[in-house]
């Protein structure tokens, strides 16, 4: 798996992604809502936003997955053979 992907996943699982909710905690004066109106959290931006659902749909189709994760806990299931196997196979090429 490429280092940049590993780093991004580390940020996701350690709640370090610069989303509205995290930026507000650091004193940011902007909005903590997503463009869709939802609370801009990692969970929302990764799985619940309509825009992200579109991206997961493309990933599902592109990698011919039978399912995609619907939450951080789903994504953290390293033994999900369908997703992990297909991503690893892609990275070998
Ligand atoms: Zn949204």
> What pLDDT, in 10s, does the model give residues 33-50?
999 999 999 999 888 998
C-alpha 87 to ligand 1 mean position (Å):
25
Asked whether the whole model's pTM tops 0.85, one would answer no
Residue 87 has pLDDT above 80, yes or no: no
Q: What percent of the chain clears pLDDT 70, i.e. is strictly above it? A: 81
Burial class (CB in 10 A: 0-12, 13-18, 19+), 51: exposed
What percentage of the chain exceeds 90 in pLDDT? Answer: 28
**pLDDT band, residue 93 (cuts 50/70/90):** very low
Range of the domain at 50: 3-92
In the structure, ligand 1 is a single-atom ion and the residues with CB under 5 Å from it are 34, 36, 38, 49
Q: Report the domain count for the chain.
A: 1
Radius of gyration of the chain (CA): 15
Distance 92 CA to ligand 1 centre (A): 33
């Amino acid at each position: 798996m490429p280092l940049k992907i590993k780093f991004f996943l580390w940020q996701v699982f350690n709640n370090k992604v610069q989303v509205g909710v995290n930026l507000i905690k650091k004193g940011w004066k902007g909005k903590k809502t997503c463009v869709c109106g939802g609370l801009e959290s990692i969970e929302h931006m990764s799985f619940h936003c309509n825009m992200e659902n579109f991206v997961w749909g493309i990933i599902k189709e592109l990698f011919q997955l039978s399912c995609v994760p619907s939450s951080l806990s789903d994504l953290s299931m390293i033994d999900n053979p369908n997703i992990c196997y297909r991503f690893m196979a892609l990275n070998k090429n």
